[in-house]
Homo-oligomer: A and B are copies of this chain.
Amino acid sequence: MEHQSNIFLILLLVLFSAKLFGEIFRKLSLPPVLGELLAGIILGPSALGWVELNEVLKLLAEIGIILLLFEVGFETDIKRLMQAGWMSVVVALAGFVLPFILGALVAYFLFDLDLIVSLFVGGTITATSIGITVRVLKDLGKRETLEGEIVVGAAVLDDILGVILLAVLYEFSKSNHVSFVEVSKVMLFIVGFFILAPIFAKIIAILIQRYHASNEIPGFLPTSIFMLVLFFGWLATALGAPEILGGFAAGLALSRRFFIPFGMALAAQDVGFTRRIEEEITPLVHLFTPFFFVAVGLSMNLRQIDWSSPTIWGLFGAVLLVAILGKVIGSMVLPLSWKKRLIVGVAMVPRGEVGLIFAEMGRTNAILDNVVYSALVLVIVVTTILPPFLIKLLYKEER
Cα–Cα, bound, A12→B237 (Å): 14
A160 to chain B minimum Cβ distance, whole angstroms, is: 21
| A12 adjacent to B59 (CB under 8 Å) | no
> A221 to chain B: which residues have CB within 8 Å?
283
A5 at the interface (CB under 8 A from B): yes
A23 at the interface (CB under 8 A from B): yes
Question: Which residue of the partner chain B has the closest CB to A233?
Answer: B8
In this complex, which of A2, A223, A224, A226 has the most chain B Cβ atoms within 10 angstroms of its Cβ? A223
A9 at the interface (CB under 8 A from B): yes
| A5 adjacent to B223 (CB under 8 Å) | no
> A243 to chain B: which residues have CB within 8 Å?
1, 4-5, 8
Q: A12-B227, A15-B226, A223-B290 are in contact. Are A4 and B283 (CB under 8 A)?
A: no
A310 at the interface (CB under 8 A from B): no
Q: A12-B231, A26-B217, A237-B1 are in contact. Are A59 and B7 (CB under 8 A)?
A: yes
In this complex, which of A26, A56, A62, A234 has the most chain B Cβ atoms within 10 angstroms of its Cβ? A234
Residue in B7, B15, B223, B285 whose CB lies within 8 Å of A286: B223
A238 at the interface (CB under 8 A from B): yes
> A234 to chain B: which residues have CB within 8 Å?
5, 8-9, 12
| B284 adjacent to A230 (CB under 8 Å) | no
> A12 to chain B: which residues have CB within 8 Å?
227, 230-231, 234
Could you say how many copies of this chain the assembly holds? Answer: 2
Cα–Cα, bound, A221→B19 (Å): 11
A141 at the interface (CB under 8 A from B): no
A10 to chain B minimum Cβ distance, whole angstroms, is: 10
Cα–Cα, bound, A249→B80 (Å): 48
A272 at the interface (CB under 8 A from B): no
Cα–Cα, bound, A218→B289 (Å): 12
A298 to chain B minimum Cβ distance, whole angstroms, is: 16
A394 at the interface (CB under 8 A from B): no
Cα–Cα, bound, A11→B237 (Å): 15
Which 10 A-B pairs have CB atoms at the shortest separation, nearest pair first?
A219-B286, A222-B283, A5-B237, A8-B234, A12-B230, A280-B283, A8-B230, A9-B234, A4-B62, A5-B234
**Residues of chain A whose beta carbon lies under 8 Å from any beta carbon of chain B:** 1-2, 4-5, 7-9, 11-12, 15-16, 19, 23, 26, 55-56, 58-59, 62, 215, 217-224, 226-227, 230-231, 233-234, 237-238, 242-243, 279-287, 290, 364
What are some 6 contacts across the A-B interface (CB < 8 A)? Answer: A5-B237, A19-B227, A55-B56, A219-B282, A223-B287, A284-B284
